[in-house]
Structure 1
Amino acid sequence: MDDQGLRRLKRKLQRALKGRPPLELPHRGGLRRAGVLVPLCLKDGRCHILFIKRAEGLPQHAGEMSFPGGGSDPQDGSIVETALREA
């Protein structure tokens, strides 16, 4: 994606999200904190969202389509760091 495409995508996202505060979900017991990356790419002038297909042999969510990401580790400084490390 070139700089112009990135600026255009940023403006579109800012317009779409204007007035919507970040959503912070409460932590519920028994659940693990996790972060995901929502990878965007520009192809033929259009924005696309990329997904991964989880391996069939995994114990949880096998074969499902998902965003790349995973569970938070104690050394992660933020949920953004978790998402980037896991992706």
Structure 2
Amino acid sequence: MQYFVVMIDYGRRGREAVVDPEVTRREVVSRVTSGEYKNISFIHEIVDACVEDVTAEILKEAALPEPAPGAAELQANHFDHLRDLRKHESV
């Protein structure tokens, strides 16, 4: 049995795993290209008992830029920095 798990990150609203055994690799690529799947955390291909991370391959097939590693961490650091600046402002 083969299927794909697409993890979508909604930020503060949480995450959603889309798992449908009927969806093929071609369909996953099509959904990424069309924009149906956005803010993808990862895409795993599960074949029998083996799991493989195919995020980069699928994004390359869909001709989308690969997310920069740590992009979410950079944004969190930016917000932390702004919060620290507000804490140390003179009133």
Say whether the fold is shared (TM-score over 0.5): no
The structure with the greater share of residues assigned to helix is 2
Between structure 1 and structure 2, the one with the greater Rg is: 2
The structure with the greater share of residues assigned to strand is 2
TM-score by length of 1: 0.24
